[in-house]
C-alpha cells in the first residue's frame, strides 16, 4: 500500500510529498502533526474529553493514527508519573 511519494520519503523523509489517495501517505502526514495533537491532548483536563478527541482523530484519520496518538500520550503520562 505505498506509492512513489512513499518510496521517495523512505530515502528522504523531508520530501514533503504526499498522495491524497495513498493510505501510507495519509498516515505520514498525520504523524507530522502528531506533536500538535499531543499538545492539544495534554491541555484537555477531563479524560472523557480526551477520549472524545481521540475518537474524532479515529474517524478522520483511521484507527492507526488514533493508536499512535494514544501511545504518545501514554508515554508522556508515564514519564510524568515517573518524575512524581
CB 67 to Zn ion: min, Å: 19
Tell me how far CA of residue 1 lies from CA of 13, 24, 29, 39, in angstroms. Answer: 17, 7, 15, 30
Q: Of 19 and 70, which CB lies nearer to Zn ion in the complex structure?
A: 19
Binding residue for Zn ion (CB under 5 A) from 17, 22, 31, 44? 22
> Which range of residues in 6-14, 36-44, 46-54, 74-82 is near Zn ion by CB under 5 A?
6-14
CB 53 to Zn ion: min, Å: 26
> Which range of residues in 22-30, 31-39, 45-53, 72-80 is near Zn ion by CB under 5 A?
22-30
Q: Which of 34, 46, 43 is nearest to 70 (CA)?
A: 34
Amino acid at each position: 500500500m505505498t506509492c512513489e511519494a512513499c518510496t521517495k520519503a523512505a530515502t528522504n523523509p523531508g520530501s514533503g510529498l504526499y498522495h491524497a489517495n495513498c493510505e501510507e501517505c495519509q498516515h505520514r502526514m498525520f504523524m507530522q502533526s502528531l506533536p500538535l495533537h499531543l499538545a492539544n491532548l495534554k491541555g484537555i483536563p477531563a479524560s472523557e474529553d480526551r477520549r472524545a478527541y481521540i475518537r474524532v482523530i479515529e474517524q478522520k484519520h483511521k484507527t492507526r493514527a488514533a493508536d499512535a496518538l494514544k501511545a504518545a500520550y501514554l508515554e508522556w503520562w508515564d514519564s510524568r508519573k515517573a518524575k512524581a
